[in-house]
């Protein structure tokens, strides 16, 4: 069992970056950290990496990463092409008393520091609404059949808040058990689940369901909210790549336009090749 260490700061952003044979997640975290530094006043940033990715850390990364944390006992029950098996460890690894946990394939394009006062309404607060690039709340269930068949809460782990508390500890400890006993939950408790490995959205939704889902989101709350660029969210085919269909531009002030629409929420670009040198340079310059 992990032991909670000393906190280094009150608030900050945290992500995991574990490189795979198909994706340089450290590169995505670098882009994310640079975008947070560029746009947020509350902008401390921590990244957790496995031992192999840790070897790739350079001075360039250290300029935007405030904390680099090597994950103990990494590579547990996870898909080697996705590497989600350590996500439950966020509670024990974060250096912050209050943490916004992010998927690393997301950028920030305007200041949202005022959201922190809303996060504090809950010990753990998940995003439950995502919008398309036009800013419309998506009702698509293209990727959520398992959620619907099992009456799981519509949580998105790509962007959520938690703070140091007994309730948070209980939530993450239960998530640990679900990860480690995944075969039992998949085969005995879930309906029509064919996931060989646990995924973070599903694990956290199960944990919230068991502990009382009303404790983990606020139904009428308009934030947190993210732009999610999966094809199905845009009303296209589920495998459509938005970067082949829409023009994307970032100006020198980091105003981001997709099509003809300014992006106002954290931008979950999903397509990993979006993180080009040109995009990164807009935030690093």
Cα 87 from Cα 169, distance rounded (Å): 14
Residue 2 lies in a domain: no
The reported pLDDT for the residue numbered 3 is 62
Residue 274 lies in a domain: yes
* Burial of 212 from C-beta contacts in 10 A (0-12 / 13-18 / 19+): exposed
Question: What 3-state DSSP class applies to 121?
Answer: coil
Instruction: Please spell the DSSP secondary structure of 81-116, one letter per residue.
Output: TT--TTGGGHHHH-SEEEEEEE-SSEE--S--GGGH
Contacts of 243 (CB under 8 A, 6+ apart): 271, 273, 274
Dump pLDDT digits (tens) for 184-196. 999 999 999 999 9
Residue 250 lies in a domain: yes
Contacts of 216 (CB under 8 A, 6+ apart): 122, 124, 125, 126, 153, 155, 171, 208
The reported pLDDT for the residue numbered 78 is 77
Residue appearing with tokens 């996870």: 78
| Residue (of 110, 95, 108, 3) closest to 47 by Cα position | 95
Q: The CATH number of the domain where 280 resides is what?
A: 3.90.550
The reported pLDDT for the residue numbered 193 is 96
The reported pLDDT for the residue numbered 6 is 76
Q: DSSP H helical segments within 12-96, as ranges?
A: 25-39, 51-54, 59-62, 90-93
pTM for this one?
0.96
Sheet holding 225-228, edge to edge: 106-107, 267-268, 225-228, 129-131
Residue 263 lies in a domain: yes
Residue 3 lies in a domain: no
Cα 70 from Cα 93, distance rounded (Å): 9
Residue appearing with tokens 């809460």: 153
The reported pLDDT for the residue numbered 1 is 54
The reported pLDDT for the residue numbered 260 is 92
What is the number of domains present in the chain? 1
Residue 120 lies in a domain: yes
The reported pLDDT for the residue numbered 73 is 78
Residue 279 lies in a domain: yes
66: domain range?
A: 9-284
Cβ distance 65 to 92 under 8 Å?
no
Low-confidence ranges of the chain (pLDDT < 50): none
Dump pLDDT digits (tens) for 98-138. 999 999 999 999 999 999 999 999 999 999 999 999 999 99
């Amino acid at each position: 069992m992990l032991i909670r260490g000393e906190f280094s700061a009150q608030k900050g952003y945290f992500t995991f970056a574990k490189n795979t044979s198909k994706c340089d997640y450290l590169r995505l975290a670098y882009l994310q950290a640079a975008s947070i530094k560029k746009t947020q006043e509350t902008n401390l940033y921590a990244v957790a990496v496995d031992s192999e990715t840790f070897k790739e850390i350079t001075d360039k990364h250290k300029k935007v990463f405030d904390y680099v944390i090597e994950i103990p006992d990494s590579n547990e029950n996870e898909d080697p092409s996705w590497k989600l098996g350590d996500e439950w460890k966020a509670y024990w690894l974060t250096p912050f008393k209050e943490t916004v946990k992010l998927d690393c394939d997301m950028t920030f394009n305007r200041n949202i520091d005022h959201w922190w006062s809303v996060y504090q309404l809950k010990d753990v607060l998940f995003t439950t609404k995502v919008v398309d690039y036009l800013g419309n709340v998506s009702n698509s269930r293209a990727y959520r059949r398992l959620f619907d068949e099992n009456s799981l809460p519509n949580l998105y782990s790509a962007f959520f808040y938690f703070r140091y508390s007994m309730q948070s500890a209980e939530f993450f400890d239960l998530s640990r058990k679900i990860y480690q006993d995944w075969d039992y939950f998949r085969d005995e408790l879930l309906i029509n689940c064919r996931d060989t490995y646990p995924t973070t959205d599903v694990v956290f939704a199960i944990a919230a369901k068991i502990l009382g889902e009303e404790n983990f989101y606020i139904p009428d709350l308009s934030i947190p909210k993210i732009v999610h660029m999966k094809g199905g969210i845009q009303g296209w085919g589920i495998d459509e790549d938005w970067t082949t269909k829409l023009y994307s531009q970032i100006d020198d002030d980091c105003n981001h336009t997709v099509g003809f629409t300014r992006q106002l929420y954290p931008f979950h670009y999903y397509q990993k090749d979006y993180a080009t040198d040109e995009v990164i340079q807009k935030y690093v310059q």
